[in-house]
Chains A and B, each alone.
Chain A
């Protein structure tokens, strides 16, 4: 994308998604952020790299989205400098990403208000940085578990409720610190990083051709979205294109993933609203759907089925017929269940007004994805920057302005029904032909980016190739980076017992952001 009024020389990147890459100075770094912000653009992802073995310095990268695509900016940071200008004053969502960059690479966002560690809990020392070439992964075995300075709320009758990292249910680990008066939440502070697995560093142990497996395990419920974004990035840097049939099969799997997650969430949301019937019904439908995915693609969650160069699965006529029949059956049931939800006054009483994020707050904080669409942020890459097969499918964008749990439930129903339509359409019009192409050898230094609308929101993967076909640096970004801070706002003024419901209505990723 072109950043208006900024005199930088960018180059168009190869690949499916419209993207440009430009090297900037520290001044341009800030100037660009302001201009993107003024023109209604958003910060998509932020990451850093160690370029010292490549004759360079460190670098910090920002990916912005505007009306004509992605603009990726790279700011070289000198070794003795170790700082770059803070973006969080312009884009609040940058704050945690910058803290993560510091923990992993040691670059400081100069001027940022919050410089506390984010991913580093004490498993490595404050002056050691895992993404630096000289970091010795064997050196520190035990986690020192350093104390974390939470923000304190003072006042009469204010007390704190700490929750996690291990939660009551079977969910991912994270810590929530509530400051409450009685039942009312004054403030919530999230503290994550518990699922940090060193993914950014781990990527460098893989070749460009095989890294899709790791990408598909950043966040298991979105494995198709991640693997597709990875494949797009790999194909962009290799300058190859997946065959048409593979692209349509990717679309089929991505919509199948959306269906599975929405079915699961709708059941869980009903259950959290005190309506166990919903969980029984929707978890049954989800299981039916996963068994069909298993039959069609050889894996219930479709892991490792999207690969650079195409897909590692194909469907025959019988499966196509099953997809059509099953999606119709689920659609019928989902419509009945939606009516039941709508008419259930107890459930609606829990949903309506709970965890409200107004469109204005959503815009200011940069809420995206499914939750964004429930708060008036009409963003969906399948419509805004469609890649094949979406170029041919006329996806209907879901949207509401309500911003409460009820709106997020409604958006899920709408998207579920739309995706059920899409899988039928894709299954009916799959182009013939190959499902995979041979991959050429990557040139060292080649760079590519992928950008996919997963069920939760936009997933971005950037890859830079190194020597011998290996990955020099890869970064995978989860939309939960943008949305988690908004949950802190959504809960304010609500009561503590509504938190599980409100949190579930966002259903954000922990592993996806902990990395």
Chain B
């Protein structure tokens, strides 16, 4: 237990010592935090669906949970069940083999529902295009609110895309 506590204490100090990157992220994070509160007034729950990505988009979505971006601290939560989700985050060109599961996840979400197409693949099929095996983007299957370009989009771009979608739906 003592080494763990020590490590936690020491880590705190280490993080404090990374001003250049940290300050920048801090400011942005604080801004985004305020926006979420203003736009939503509550937490945001996201169901992520990999519809045939190469897995790199997932790596960057997962990075959002690290202590630098700390999305949970901002009230954004990734959920297992689409029934709890406000927003569907889709990656990949939508492989034909994932078309139906993706649709089912969308159907299971309570209205109103937001859809963010994440990455060049979800945008228009990306490098895989539209083929016998792919639909050529999330908008071919679902009504997409926001598209985030990039291959993969870095974590901050993902966050900005999510906020752009949330801002859309605010009356």
Any chain A CB within 8 A of the CB of B67? yes
Q: Mark A120-152, 1 if CB is under 8 A from B, else 0.
A: 010110000010000101001001010000000
Mask of B69-98 contacts with A, CB within 8 angstroms, 1/0: 000000000101000000000001101111
The proximity string for B residues 125-154 relative to A, scoring 1 for CB distances below 8 Å and 0 otherwise, is 011110111100000000000000001101
Which chain A residues border B56 with CB–CB below 8 Å?
Answer: 217, 220-221, 223, 301, 303
Q: Name the residue on A nearest B63 (C-beta).
A: A287
CA distance A281 to B6 in the complex (A): 13
User: Shortest beta-carbon distance, B9 to chain A, in Å?
Assistant: 12
A261 — nearest CB in chain B belongs to which residue?
Answer: B59
Which range contains the number of B residues in contact with the other chain?
35 or more
A291 to B69, CA, bound (A): 13
Smallest Cβ-Cβ distance to B94: which chain A residue: A197
* Pairwise interchain contact B67-A197, C-beta atoms closer than 8 A: no
A336: Cβ under 8 A from any B Cβ? yes
Contact of A135 among B15, B58, B105, B132 (CB under 8 A): B132
Distance of B88 from chain A, by nearest CB (Å): 11
CA separation between A510 and B97, bound complex, in Å? 13
B11 proximity list for chain A (CB < 8 A):
281, 284
Of all chain B residues, the one with the shortest Cβ separation from A200 is B133
Q: How far is the CA of A509 from the CA of B95 in the complex (A)?
A: 16
Is A40 in the interface zone, CB < 8 Å from B?
no
Let me know if A168 is at the binding interface, CB within 8 A. yes
Q: How far is the CA of A138 from the CA of B49 in the complex (A)?
A: 26
A-B contact count (CB 8 A): 164
Contact-residue bracket for chain A: 35 or more
In the complex, how many angstroms separate the beta carbon of B137 from the nearest chain A beta carbon?
12
- Cα–Cα, bound, A143→B21 (Å): 46
Which residues of the partner chain A approach B35 to less than 8 Å between Cβ atoms? none
Alpha-carbon gap, A202 to B15, bound state (A): 45
A260 and chain B: residue at smallest CB distance: B59
Closest A residue, CB atoms, query B96: A123
Asked whether B124 is an interface residue with its Cβ less than 8 Å from the other chain, the reply is: no
The verdict on A173 contacting B50 (CB below 8 Å), with A165-B98, A287-B66 known, is: yes
- Looking at B4, B78, B129, B132, which has the most chain A CB atoms within 10 Å of its CB? B132
Question: Which residues in B have their C-beta under 8 angstroms from that of A158?
Answer: none
With contacts A173-B101, A198-B131 known, what are 11 further pairs, Cβ within 8 A? A123-B96, A172-B50, A173-B52, A197-B52, A197-B93, A217-B56, A277-B4, A283-B65, A301-B152, A339-B3, A511-B54
Give me the 7 closest cross-chain CB pairs, A-B, nearest first. A220-B56, A198-B133, A283-B66, A123-B96, A168-B80, A220-B54, A137-B132
28 A-B pairs with CB atoms under 8 Å apart are: A137-B131, A143-B97, A194-B98, A194-B101, A195-B52, A195-B98, A196-B52, A197-B52, A197-B95, A201-B131, A202-B129, A214-B127, A217-B126, A217-B151, A220-B53, A220-B59, A223-B54, A223-B56, A277-B7, A277-B8, A281-B7, A283-B66, A283-B67, A284-B68, A301-B59, A301-B152, A303-B56, A514-B52
Chain A positions within 8 Å of B, measured between CB atoms, are 121, 123-124, 130, 135, 137, 140, 143, 145, 165-166, 168-173, 193-199, 201-202, 205, 213-214, 217-221, 223, 264, 277, 279-281, 283-284, 286-287, 290-291, 294, 300-301, 303, 336-337, 339-340, 343-344, 509-512, 514
Binding site for A on B (CB under 8 A): 3-4, 7-8, 11, 15, 21, 48-63, 65-68, 78, 80, 92-93, 95-101, 105, 126-129, 131-134, 151-152, 154
